[in-house]
Amino acid sequence: MSNFFIRSQRRVCFSTACRRSAYTALRKGWFSMCGIAGIISFGEDLHDRERICARMQEAIVRRGPDQRGMLLTEHAALIHTRLAVIDPEFGRQPMHRAYRDEVYSIVYNGELYNTDEVRQKLAEAGCRLTTRSDTEAVLMAYAVFGEACVTLFNGIFAFAVWEQKRQRLFLARDRMGVKPLFYHLTPERLVFGSELGCLLEYPDVPHEIGIEGISQLLLFGPGRTPGCGVLRDVKELQRAECAFYTRENGLQKRTYWSLEAAEHPDNFAQTAEHVRYLVTDAIRRQLVSDVPLGTFLSGGLDSSLISAVAAREFARNGTPLHTFSVDYRDNDKYFRKSRFQPNSDPAYIRCMQEALHAEHHWTVIDTPALAQALYAAVDARGLPGMADVDASLLLFCREIREHVTVALSGECADELFGGYPWYRDPEIRAAWGFPWSQSTAYRMEFARPEIAELLRERRDVDAAYQATLARTAVLPGDSPTERRMREMLRLNTDWFMQTLLDRKDRMSMYSALEVRVPFCDYRIAQYLYNVPWEFKEYRGYEKGLLREAMRDYLPEEVLWRKKSPYPKTHHPAYLAAVTEMLQKRLQNPEAPVLQIVTREALMRLLEGDDNVQWYGQLMTRPQTIAYFVQLDYWMERFGISVVL
């Protein structure tokens, strides 16, 4: 028994056949876990920046600890780290290809789920690939089709292509925002990377936050405004954005895809049938049936559906599926029912175990490990985050990585199918503001007076909310309910979902675990955007449409289980632990967090009641205390100062 985990089921060693299958999968290019970074500077010779590039590479090495690659030219540096499962010589990056009169180099983080279709398009254009790697498919698609290549891709990705003769950089990010890409832009250069910590290794990136960054941390956190990197002069390429960077024109960005409003011609039966096709196709595209990958299994609808579809695919090949669940020590003793979490997971997980006949692995997290992991979670995210919701996932992924390299998870179904409580509560739904944090009044109580005054003048939250509504596509004939539900879906995909995807990517990649999210398939998002609300709420259930479409995949008690959020600890020892952690940090009279908030407000939090909801039901009082622990640690860890 370790300090971190109690392993209640045996560790499984994969057979020789499974290892051989994994080798086959790698040779076909199905693994692409990595980190990317780069510098483009037309006013200096980047050969002189090799040590800086090495430090940037080291900052993302956990995303891909087995291989390191770097292209260093006069004006361009491309940096890559890769996880090589078995064949270390296959798929090295940066990858280079000559096409016509140009030489193209790529660093790529992601997975294409339609590589065969892209290969076919390239073959029709007269381009033949030399490997089965999706990296080569992406690179040559750009060489042949230019920036339009991104419209061909179904997958999760962030990549950069450097054209050596033209001296031009192309950047792109996937439609749904699963894979990250941050950048720092000045008149002299562009610096980019998978993670904020990587950018901070470049000496000209300021370790500072201004009032905009404080607004993000205090009023939006753990969320972020789309495109905002929190740090001064740091941005993020938004989901479904691509960009060119050149000496003449600087950085020019455009959005290549967005949710479009259209009439929905299908009746309910046709809609359910199409949803079933889209969901099963998305899952199957992200599965390789003879590869020892696994699935998250919470006993909720979404992860159970993914596991059920995966188990059927694996069974056809006589291979057991590996499923993974998390719980907290003594949660059976301290669990408290609430409006948001009416029941706990273990009973439903056991039900799915019996139905799936999978190789199941339990991870039980202890309170001391959970509290201590708050710091590693900040290291992984590069920002304060969702407190123990982040920390528990980080520990969980660390355990999963001991068994598999790839796992499938159920994120994004709630945003698209209307699963959250705020979709179905008419009072919350009609209110102004982000439904998971409709008032900033409580948050503002923490701010130092001079900061509070600046924040009130800016009205950032109202402006961000209004801007999201303004970019929501609607039809002239939409009823008030349908219009509002489109707005709700846009609010959730642009904001809440991005926070969860941030969490999933950083916490998993910290242990070099690649997590795929089948419900994030853009085809599902586009179709669901136009499905009437009455269909989604079939039989009065949240995600009723999804339940009906997939009903033969699950036991009845799981199929119709009421929505329950990601589990968190209810152990009183956790509140005591994070309280002690914050008290110790406040013993420092110059604690960094006191540049933003007052000591008095933090003391009121420590001594207050439990009716705090900092970020929906996921962050109540213990998690709010933990958030301020993380904020202080983050400022200390990265040397962040406030410059107003």
Phi and psi of 96, rounded to 5°?
A: -125, 140
Tokens 């152990």 — which residue?
A: 571
State yes or no: cis peptide before 555, omega within 30 of 0.
no
Interior CA angle at 386 toward 568 and 488, to 5°? Answer: 95
CA–CA separation, 455 and 264 (whole Å): 42
The Cα diameter of the chain in Å comes to: 70
CA–CA separation, 10 and 42 (whole Å): 56
Contact status, residue 40 vs residue 73, Cβ threshold 8 Å: no
E-state strands within 352-408: 359-365, 406-408
Label the pairing between strands 241-246 and 168-173: antiparallel
245 has which bridge partners? 169, 251
The CB density around residue 81, as the number of other CB atoms within 10 Å, is 30
HEC string of 290-306?
CCCCEEECCCCHHHHHH
Q: Closest Cα partner for 4 from 431, 413, 396, 295? A: 396
Residues of the chain scoring pLDDT < 70: 1-33, 84-91, 288-292, 334-343, 610
468-508 pLDDT, tens per residue?
A: 999 999 999 999 999 999 999 999 999 999 999 999 999 99
Stated pTM of the model: 0.93
376-407 pLDDT, tens per residue?
A: 999 999 999 999 999 999 999 999 999 999 99
pLDDT at residue 437 in the model:
85
Which tokens in the block code for residue 639?
Answer: 């040397």
pLDDT at residue 339 in the model:
60
Number of H-type helices and E-type strands within the chain? 27, 20
Contact status, residue 397 vs residue 510, Cβ threshold 8 Å: yes
pLDDT at residue 65 in the model:
85
Buried/exposed 551-579: b ≥16 CB within 10 Å, e otherwise: eebbeeebbebebbbbbbbbbebbbebbb
Q: Calculate the CA 546 to chain-centre distance.
A: 22
CA–CA separation, 120 and 438 (whole Å): 48
CA–CA separation, 95 and 33 (whole Å): 15
State yes or no: cis peptide before 384, omega within 30 of 0.
no
pLDDT at residue 288 in the model:
64
Which tokens in the block code for residue 307?
Answer: 């596991």
Tokens 């010779």 — which residue?
A: 45
DSSP class of residue 461? H
Q: Calculate the CA 18 to chain-centre distance.
A: 29
Active site residues: 34
pLDDT at residue 587 in the model:
96
DSSP class of residue 218? I
DSSP class of residue 46? G
DSSP class of residue 252? E
pLDDT at residue 89 in the model:
55
CA–CA separation, 65 and 219 (whole Å): 36
447 has which bridge partners? 597
Q: Calculate the CA 201 to chain-centre distance.
A: 23
Instruction: Return the axis-axis angle of helices 460-470 and 480-491, rounded to nearest 10°.
Output: 120
Q: Closest Cα partner for 514 from 155, 81, 21, 110? A: 110
**Domains of the chain as residue ranges with CATH:** 29-255 (3.60.20.10), 277-430+496-559 (3.40.50.620), 572-642 (no CATH)
Contact status, residue 616 vs residue 436, Cβ threshold 8 Å: yes
- Would you call 336 exposed, middle or buried from its count of C-beta atoms within 10 A (0-12, 13-18, 19+)? exposed
Q: Does residue 9 sit in helix, strand or coil?
A: coil
CA–CA separation, 507 and 368 (whole Å): 18
What's the Cα-to-Cα distance from 634 to each of 127, 207, 430, 504, 582, rounded to whole Å?
Answer: 48, 11, 36, 19, 13
pLDDT at residue 11 in the model:
27
CA–CA separation, 152 and 242 (whole Å): 13
Q: Does residue 359 sit in helix, strand or coil?
A: strand
Phi and psi of 275, rounded to 5°?
A: -60, -45
Label the pairing between strands 294-296 and 322-328: parallel
Ordered DSSP codes for 590-601: T-GGGGTB-HHH
Q: Calculate the CA 630 to chain-centre distance.
A: 19
The CB density around residue 492, as the number of other CB atoms within 10 Å, is 25
Which tokens in the block code for residue 240?
Answer: 């479904």
CA–CA separation, 444 and 454 (whole Å): 11
CA–CA separation, 634 and 97 (whole Å): 41
pLDDT at residue 340 in the model:
58
Q: Closest Cα partner for 183 from 174, 45, 175, 172? A: 172
